[in-house]
Every structure is written in structure tokens, then in C-alpha cells.
Amino acid sequence: MRDDVARGVDHGDGTRGLRMRLGEVVSYHSSRHVSAEELAFRCARTINRARQVGYRTLMANQAEWLGRFWRRSDVRVSGHPELQQAVRWNLFQLIQASARAETQGIPAKGLTGSGYGGHYFWDTEVYALPFLTYTSPQFSRNALRFRYLMLPQATERARELSHDGVLFPWRTINGHESSAYYAAGTAQYHIDADIAYALMKYVYATGDSEFLLSEGVDILVGTARFFMSLGFFDPTGEKFQIHSVTGPDEYTTVVNNNFYTNVMARYNLRAAADVALQMRRERPEAFQELSDRSGLSIDELDLWDRAAKAMYIPFDEGMQIHPQDDQFLNRQLWNLDDPAVGPKRPLLLHYHPLTIYRYQVLKQADVVLGLFLQGDDVPAEIKKRDYTYYDRLTTGDSSLSAVVQSIVAAELGFRETAMDFFLRGLFLDLENLHGNSADGVHIASCGGVWSALVFGFGGFRDDYGHFSIDPRLPEGWESLEFNVTLQGYQVRVTVEEDAVELQIVDGGEGLVGPVTVMGKEVVVGTRPVRVEGETTLVADEQGLVEAGIATDVVQDIVTVDK
Amino acid sequence: MRDDVARGVDHGDGTRGLRMRLGEVVSYHSSRHVSAEELAFRCARTINRARQVGYRTLMANQAEWLGRFWRRSDVRVSGHPELQQAVRWNLFQLIQASARAETQGIPAKGLTGSGYGGHYFWDTEVYALPFLTYTSPQFSRNALRFRYLMLPQATERARELSHDGVLFPWRTINGHESSAYYAAGTAQYHIDADIAYALMKYVYATGDSEFLLSEGVDILVGTARFFMSLGFFDPTGEKFQIHSVTGPDEYTTVVNNNFYTNVMARYNLRAAADVALQMRRERPEAFQELSDRSGLSIDELDLWDRAAKAMYIPFDEGMQIHPQDDQFLNRQLWNLDDPAVGPKRPLLLHYHPLTIYRYQVLKQADVVLGLFLQGDDVPAEIKKRDYTYYDRLTTGDSSLSAVVQSIVAAELGFRETAMDFFLRGLFLDLENLHGNSADGVHIASCGGVWSALVFGFGGFRDDYGHFSIDPRLPEGWESLEFNVTLQGYQVRVTVEEDAVELQIVDGGEGLVGPVTVMGKEVVVGTRPVRVEGETTLVADEQGLVEAGIATDVVQDIVTVDK
């Protein structure tokens, strides 16, 4: 339909050089509960309203909306316009996918393609939500409500698997499990903890206790109960194990004590117990309601706490690394340097799962993702060994891998590696690096690009509500500027080579903090606060090599038959 | 079509008490390579011939054929006509399923029902072939040729899984893998060893070196190569491991170092190396042909021998039992005594695989089957502990379990248990104990009934061509008589309470042996040879209890949520 602006143009008859603008107003309505006739009527009404409002006003409204988005969300990389452009392309994909999702969730491809059939995965919580939580928290809340509204189906699913609590579907479009392959689907129980984790990060960032107490806590209780019935204490009661699970890495499935799953389940159990106990102390009437509707008892909270404390975290004393699972280090190593394997990527399209599963070979970061999300108590030396050991085994066949590897490499000072992985994530779809961008944009990786900038190079962290910044500015970047909305205040963080500056730029008068910046505690207000210090990412490629040598001697690399 | 006999009857008009016989001649031809017209023509020709031959002659021929079958195959249990009848019913099913199978294999249900869609499994080799090998060896050879003719598809399948050698399909009707579920299908690689094992048992029983050298050896070479490429030496070279496999028990899948798989693969590698080396010594021209068509080298034989010697057999020093696999004993125990679980059988129809796989719970004998087929070097005390440990975890949801448990219980002196499991196998279809006999007769269990009689109560064994008999006559059985055809001679074995008598009853003049009978070596000829001794199955239920107590203390039994 041509709009008034188009009609305002003096149409020619194909004359060359004539400037012409055609406009089209399109209306889209969708609902699961309304008839097609009603939807058609709503579409017509919307179009009529748009015509009345007019093109210029619509465009101005849109520009204003996007202006607000960029003001609160932009990340600025000075001196690198090509990177800047690519960064903004990624952030734009994120807001396109989430702004109008309301409580329908954010699918893996947003609305950009038919890949994954429009289904939602854990990607939303672990990769897309951090960006939303810290820049557009209301959209993050919408996405979390999407999970909250799914609790009835998740309860039913847990029963189907003979478990207590709730099990969120590995892939879904309507709340029911849609994965046809349990080994790389249902067994990825970590999705429960991923959702609980994203919920808590949202709560710490926003202080939105209203959502937590009225709805979020039901997610915490259900997921904690699930992990209690999935795992078990060994006879001594000192070790809580979780068996037959699949971690984020789908090239190893149905294993015992996956590092990632166990650290995330520990977080889940702790958070559920802490929130419930805090409710009991500070909001006894809300706790009573929770107890009435869920049958929650104090004994149960004690049990969660005991399980979290007893959670078994696999660690190999000899190699001084965290095995991905109990049996991982006993497997053969896949020689990814074999030139015959190069063209056979992703492996999953060229090898039978039984072949892939027999080897130490990763589709994507697994222990390394665990170290990023829940590695605060792991010494840097161990992290370096972990990172290096898994680095050479990781194919990156999943688009979820590079951005995580970049973050942890930046934290550990593996400068070139951090930048390499960052660029792989940044240009994933712009350069169609995985050859499948036609199926849609990898929304999770777009979120990972923001995370790599803010958590990786920016060094921003939230440790149970305590925020810290410890930047690792890439070589050749003059500055890095990003925004995080904390407790309703938009804090602008500017990392320069020798200082970090923080300032509340939106949200009114107020204070945020203390925030630990390069080891120094500061309180942030509407006037800039500046902390001097070396922000540059220190190159420690030697450390990478040394950690590599240390792990190299332990096992031989084998070559898989072609 | 009514035949001449029917026509010979003076037809009445429905008068009561009139004796009438209706006969029908039916002809069935089948071929994959011949047109429907040609098949119809063949059917007509067969019917015409049958008419010419006439009903009485046809029946007499059939009776003669069956007479010969019973003379060489019958097992007599004196004093128990109801058991005798049931035994013969089972043996009759076996010959119905196999006599005219020729080289088309023996499907799981024979021709009695549509269960399993007419597919063939490992059941044939492990459960049905012993009966055929020792009573109708030509039918056993036919069944083994069925596998030989499948080598091209099995080679292709191994390639699909990035392996050397051959991988026989877990279920098939045309040589191609037809299992849609690799975890309880393709991963049961032990089928390769099962076939190699059945082949060698056939060769030892018959001395059919012609078949071995011309065709059988290709099965040995292909399967040995497969296991070499599936397993791997650890860096020290002293331990050969096999990962990501499923044993006979389908309630635990895709595990490392399954006891059954490893002992059977060891047998497979040994047999292949031994046969090839013996060929090289004694039939150099045949070895040269084999080498030419398969590229087999002496180095490869050495490697098989090394792998067999280094084969890792899991053993738990603390509990003094063989774990079913590396991780088995770390799993939780399923409380099968829980009354709520009783009605939920078989478990696989009531619980998600991920739930079942997390527990120590067995669908069928696994370690115990390994102990029967390859347990010669395991001390009786360990076997008792193994048997007892797995006994309480075994649901018997598979019809393949009871007969094996009966054999090993008999060997270990668990008298009541042995009889109980024997009866479960004996009446499986006659009393529809699994509720699915309408889908067809469990042919493998029929074979297992023979095995329980001959290997279990009869105590017959073949250890690399050395035959032995060590009977355990059940209480209240006066005698047990069975026949085994060895080296072309039909040997009748009669077990009485205080003696075993052996005699060649068919095959002409000759000698078989030495055969070790209750520890004494005898040579069997056409005149009876009698060995005195206590043949009764000694009751050692106390041993069962003691072994149970010993293993009981180790772990708590848990109850699965309903």
C-alpha cells in the first residue's frame, strides 16, 4: 500500500534521474487466542492508524525509539570504524529480535530466518539476556516471564522423566519439549540452571524484587527441586553427584558429573536456598504464600544448601585441570590438525555420533563457559591450564563457542586468541563464517559479541550483586565505551589506556555502588569518577604455550579414520 | 485346494458323528531375484508334484524327517512329562524356524509372528545357534553363511562409522542396519564378536575347516579389524580399551569398557589371530589367498594378539566383582522391590531412557552372560559374587535373560534359582509370561531352553575344541539325556544321579574325544562309556545369600520417583 508520502511525489513515466520514494505500510498481528477475522480487523485498524499518523511521524517515532536504544546500549570502539559498524550490526540484531517479543521469548534466529524452526533454546538466557539485562532490563524481564509462563509444561515434563520440580524444554515453541534427540536435548538439564542464573543476574542488576518474589522464585524452587531429584548424595553424604547429563558441548553426551552442569546446578541450589531464606526473614508473608503454593519447607532449604556445599566438581590432580566429566580424560584425543579432517566440518555432518562421542573433541566451550559463569573461586593458573587444554580440542563447530573463548582468553591475558575469537563472533553472520547465515542470524552470537566487549575486554562482572570492572583493552584500541544499567541507573563506562571513567548518564540523581574498579572501590554518581591504572590487555601468549606444553605430554593425539 | 485324500472321503451333508478329513496343499516360494510370474509358476509346479506324490506319502516323508530330527536333537527329562512336553515344544519351534531358512537367516520370531518386523539380531548366534551347531550343524552353517553373504554391507557400515573391517547390523532383514536407535542398536558392537564366537563354536563342533578357510575366516578378519579400530591401546600399550559401547543389557547404554563386549572382543581377536596363524603354517596357499584378498599381514596378526592380551577387563578390587562397565558401580541402585515399580514392567515402557540409564538396573544378564561364554578363567568365588550382585538388579524384562541366569546359577550351585529361571524360559511362550507371545514365539529363548538343559544342567562345555561335561542334575530328576553331534558323530549323553554315560549313536564307527567328564578324560565310541560320580546339582543357596550379604553393604538401594 503506497502511503501519503509516496503519493506526494510527482510521479514520472520512467524518466531517468527522477527521484522517487515509494512507501509501504505493513501491519502484522498475531495471537494464539483470537480468530483470523479478528486479526485481519486489527491489521486493518493498525494500517488506518498508521496512515493517519503519516510516514514522517512514523519515521520520527522510530528514530526516537532507536535513538533511545542506542543511547542506553551502544558500545563504542574508538579508532576502528569497521569494527564499530560490525558491533552495531550485532546489537541491532539483538534489539530487533527482542523488543517486540514481549512474553513470547526470543528464538534462536530472532525473526530473521527459518533456522531451528523458530524454536527457543538456552541461548536466550546465557547469550542474549546479559545484553538485555544490562541495557534494556524490561525486555529481559519479558524473556524471563516467557519461562515463568512455561512452568506448567515444565512441571509436567519433569514428571514424565520421573523427577520432582520443573524441567524446562531444551527446545520449544509452545513450552513443550520439541527436541527429538534426548542425548543432545533433554539430557542438557543445565538449561534449568541457566534460566535460574539469568534470573538472578537480572535481579541483581535491576533490584526487581517484585518480579523475583511474585514469579521468579517459583522458577528457583522448581529448578532446585529438579536438581535435587536428578542428583544424589553418595553414601557418605559428602559428595553430591549428577549423572547421565549432557553439557553445552554436544560432541560428548550423557555423561556423569559434567563440570558445567555441576557448577551451574550448585549456583541454582544456592540461589534458591538464599532467596527463600531471605524471603522468610524479610518478607515472611510472601514466604508463607510461596510455602502454601509449593509445599516448601525449611528442611528442603537445608537440603539444597547441603547439596550445593557437597556438589562434586571434577578435578584431575595429576593434570591439574577440570575434566569436562568423569570419563572425559579417559577418551582418545581427536587430531584436529589432521588435514583430512579440515574439510569435514562441522564434524556432526560428517561423522556418526558414536564416533564423535568416543573422542576428546568439543563442539563448543564447555568447561571454559563454566569458568566464565562460575569460575570465581578457580585460581588463574588452573584456568589457564583448563583453557589451553580445551582450546586445542574445540572445533568451534557451534556458533556459541568463539565469543565465550574470547571472554576467557581476555581474562587470562591470551591477547591474540581473545581478539581472534572476538572477530570470529563479530563477523559470524556478516561474513557468513559458518556458511549458514541464510537460515537466519545467530542471535546468541550477537549477544556474545556484546558479552565479549563488556565482560571480556571491558572486564565487567557481577558477583552476587557486587559489580566489578577489570578491563583488558585490546592493543591498538584507544578506548572502549559501554553502558550498563544498574539498579535503574544507566552507568557509562569509558575505558582508556590508563584509566576507567564511570558516570551515571541516565536514571536521575542517585548513587551506584560500591563498584570495584581495578581493585579499587568507587561509588558512581552523575559526575564522572575516574580510576587511574593500566587497562591494556597484557599479552601472556607465553603462558598459553606453557600451559599447553604442560598438558601436551599427558596424552597422545590420535587420528580418526577417514 | 483339497487333495486326493480329501476327495477320497465320502462326503456327508453335515451329519453328526461323521468322520471327515479335509486336506489342503499349499505351496510357497520366495526369491529376491525372480519375477512374480516365475514364482507363481514354481508354486503351481510344486502343488502338482505334491498332488502326484499324495497326502500319505507327504505325511510319511514329513514324519520321517521329523523322526530323524528328534533322534538327533531330543532332550529327555525322565519322570516329568509336563516338562518333557514343554521342552519338545521349544525344540520344535527352533527347527521350524531354521530348517528351511537356508541362507536367509533365522529371524527373532522365526515365521511365527510379525514381532520385530521379521528382523534378525544377535539372538541367532548366541541363543539359537548352539542348538543347531550341536544337533543340526548344516543349519548352523546356513545361518553363518547368511552372515558371510552380508559382509559387503557390513564393510560399508563400518566405513560409515569411520571404522576398519566389518560391522554387522544390529537388526536387519537385508544386510543393512535397520536399527533406528544407535544407543540400543549400532553401539551393541558385540554382535561382531558374537558372530565370530558362534562361527568358532561351529568349527570346533564340526571340524568344518572347509567353511572356515573359504568363508568363515573373512568374518574373523573383518570383525577383528573392526575391534582394533574401535578400541585403543592406552599410552603405555599395556591396556586395550573399548569405549562408547552398549552391552547386551539395554538398560545401560554407550559406556566405556563393557565387561561382556571386552571379553567377547578378546575372544574374537584371539580366534582371528590363531586361525590365520594356523592357516599360514598348515595351509600356506589358503593363507596367501586370504592375504591377497584382504591385505592381511603378519604384523596385523601380532597386533591382534597384543590387543587380546592387553584387553582391559574391568574388575573392582574392593567389591571383588566385575563392574558391568567403567562407570556402572558409580550409578545409583534401583529398588526393584519397591511395590510401586512392580506393575511398571517392562521398565522401558514406563520410564524415559534417561531415567533408566542413570541407575544400576538391568534389562537382562550382561556380566553373567559374559561369565557363561567367556568365564573359564574366573574363579568360582568371583563368579558367585558377580552372579549375586547382578541378580538383584536384573529385571528380566528381556526374554533373553532367564535362560542365561539359569545356566550360570546351575554352574554355581544355586539350585532353586537355576530351576526357577529355567522354568521361566521353558514356559515363556506356553504361558505367555511376557504377555507378548501373540507377536510371535521368542525363538532365542527356545534356544536358551536347550542351552539351559545342555550347558546348565548337563554341564556341557567346549573350551577351544576341548569338550567337557560336568552335570548338575536338578533335584527330583531321575535322568537327563541329550545329544550332541561332535565331529560328525552323534554322541548321546545320559546323566543319571550317580553316573554319566556317553555313546556314539550315529555317524558310523569312530571315536570322539578325549572328553572330560566330571574331571576324568574319556574317549567316546559306539559302545557306551560310563563315568561314575555325583551328578546332582549341589544346593548352595547359602553361598548365594553370603555373596549377597557381602555385596549388600556397599551401596544403598534407592527408590525411583513414580
pLDDT of residue B457: 97
How close does chain A come to B105, measured CA to CA in Å? 27
Which contiguous run of DSSP H or E holds residue B63? Answer: helix B55-73
Of A253, A326, A355, the CB nearest to B162: A355
B560 to chain A, any CB pair closer than 8 A? The answer is yes
- Contacts (Cβ under 8 Å, ≥6 apart) of A57: none
Of B375, B369, B367, B432, give the one whose Cα is nearest residue B402. B369
Q: Across-strand partners of A504?
A: A491
Cell numbers 554391507: residue: B153
Q: ipTM value of the model? A: 0.87
| pLDDT one-digit tens code per residue, B52-70 | 999 899 999 999 999 999 9
Q: Which residue from A minimizes the CA distance to B246? A: A354
How close does chain A come to B469, measured CA to CA in Å? 42
Pick B98 or A22 by higher pLDDT.
Answer: B98
pLDDT of residue A236: 87
Q: How confident is the model at residue B421 (pLDDT cuts 50, 70, 90)?
A: very high
CB contact under 8 A, A556 and B235: yes
Given the residues B125, B177, B250, B411, the one annotated as active site: B250
Please, are residues B378 and B502 in contact by the beta-carbon 8 Å criterion? no
Chain B hits for A331, Cβ within 8 Å? 243
Of A505, A502, A504, A523, give the one whose Cα is nearest residue A514. A523
Q: Across-strand partners of A255?
A: A245
How close does chain A come to B341, measured CA to CA in Å? 12
Return d(Cα A224, Cα B85) in angstroms, integer.
Answer: 58
Least confident of A379-393, A526-540, B297-311, B499-513: A526-540
* Terminal C-alpha separation, chain B: 57
Q: What are the residue ranges in chain A where pLDDT is below 50?
A: 1-9, 11, 549-559, 561-562
**Which amino acid, residue B485?**
T
Of B143, B326, B142, B126, give the one whose Cα is nearest residue B242. B326
Which cell is A2 given?
503506497
**Which amino acid, residue B508?**
G
Return d(Cα B489, Cα B484) in angstroms, integer.
Answer: 8
User: Is pLDDT above 70 for B6?
Assistant: no
pLDDT of residue B337: 82
Please, are residues B112 and B104 in contact by the beta-carbon 8 Å criterion? no
- Contacts (Cβ under 8 Å, ≥6 apart) of A485: A72, A134, A135, A136, A137, A205, A206, A491, A506, A507
pLDDT of residue A31: 86
| CA-atom Rg of chain B in angstroms | 25
A299 to chain B, any CB pair closer than 8 A? The answer is no
Pick A9 or B434 by higher pLDDT.
Answer: B434
pLDDT of residue A13: 63
CA B345 to chain centre: 25
A 10 A CB-CB count for B256 gives: 20
How close does chain A come to B235, measured CA to CA in Å? 7
Q: Across-strand partners of A489?
A: A486
A560 to chain B, any CB pair closer than 8 A? The answer is yes
User: Is pLDDT above 50 for B28?
Assistant: yes
| pLDDT one-digit tens code per residue, B461-474 | 999 999 999 999 99
B344 to chain A, any CB pair closer than 8 A? The answer is no
A 10 A CB-CB count for B176 gives: 13
Return d(Cα B247, Cα B185) in angstroms, integer.
Answer: 10
Tell me what percent of the residues of chain B surpass a pLDDT of 70: 93
A555 to chain B, any CB pair closer than 8 A? The answer is yes
How close does chain A come to B556, measured CA to CA in Å? 7
CA A494 to chain centre: 23
CB contact under 8 A, A326 and B331: no
Pick B33 or B353 by higher pLDDT.
Answer: B353
User: Is pLDDT above 90 for B47?
Assistant: yes
The DSSP annotation for A428-479 comes to TTTTTTTS-GGG---HHHHHHHHHIIIIIIS-EEEETTEEEE---BPTT--E
User: Is pLDDT above 60 for B453?
Assistant: yes
* Terminal C-alpha separation, chain A: 57
A157 to chain B, any CB pair closer than 8 A? The answer is no
Please, are residues B248 and B259 in contact by the beta-carbon 8 Å criterion? no
pLDDT of residue B344: 87
Please, are residues B400 and B127 in contact by the beta-carbon 8 Å criterion? yes
Q: Which residue from B minimizes the CA distance to A555? A: B235
CB contact under 8 A, B327 and A256: yes
Please, are residues B135 and B73 in contact by the beta-carbon 8 Å criterion? yes
- Contacts (Cβ under 8 Å, ≥6 apart) of B428: B399, B402, B434, B437, B442, B445
Please, are residues A53 and A60 in contact by the beta-carbon 8 Å criterion? no
B278 to chain A, any CB pair closer than 8 A? The answer is no
Which cell is B223 given?
570383525
CB contact under 8 A, B254 and A555: no
| pLDDT one-digit tens code per residue, B181-196 | 999 999 999 999 999 9
Pick B197 or B33 by higher pLDDT.
Answer: B197
Which cell is B538 given?
549341589
How close does chain A come to B161, measured CA to CA in Å? 6
**A 209-248 residues inside an 8 A Cβ radius of B:** 229, 232, 235, 241, 243-244
Which cell is B225 given?
579389524
Tell me the Ramachandran region of residue A163: left when phi exceeds 0, alpha when psi lies from -120 to 50, beta otherwise: beta
Please, are residues B486 and B494 in contact by the beta-carbon 8 Å criterion? no
pLDDT of residue A212: 97
Mutation target vs B (from A349, A354, A358, A558; most B CBs, 10 A cutoff): A354
The pairing of beta strand B499-506 with beta strand A240-241: unpaired
A183 to chain B, any CB pair closer than 8 A? The answer is yes
Phi, psi dihedrals of residue B428, rounded to the nearest 5°:
-50, -55
Please, are residues B457 and B472 in contact by the beta-carbon 8 Å criterion? yes
CB contact under 8 A, A330 and B162: no
| pLDDT one-digit tens code per residue, B336-353 | 888 877 788 899 999 999
Of A164, A186, A558, the CB nearest to B354: A186
| pLDDT one-digit tens code per residue, B113-161 | 999 999 999 999 999 999 999 999 999 999 999 999 999 999 999 999 9
Return d(Cα B162, Cα A361) in angstroms, integer.
Answer: 15
Please, are residues B129 and B198 in contact by the beta-carbon 8 Å criterion? yes
Edge-to-edge order in the sheet of strand B512-517: B460-463, B466-469, B512-517, B520-524
User: How many residues can be counted in chain B?
Assistant: 562
A 10 A CB-CB count for A81 gives: 9
| pLDDT one-digit tens code per residue, B142-154 | 999 999 999 999 9
A327 to chain B, any CB pair closer than 8 A? The answer is yes
Cell numbers 558500545: residue: A75
Chain A hits for B326, Cβ within 8 Å? 327, 330
A358 to chain B, any CB pair closer than 8 A? The answer is yes
Tell me the Ramachandran region of residue B17: left when phi exceeds 0, alpha when psi lies from -120 to 50, beta otherwise: left
B5 to chain A, any CB pair closer than 8 A? The answer is no
pLDDT of residue B537: 67
Q: Which residue from A minimizes the CA distance to B252? A: A244
Three-class HEC string of B218-270: HHHHHHHHHHHHHCEECCCCCCEECCCECCCCCCCCCECCCHHHHHHHHHHHH
Return d(Cα B322, Cα B316) in angstroms, integer.
Answer: 6
- The Cα diameter of chain B in Å comes to 87
CB contact under 8 A, A332 and B243: yes
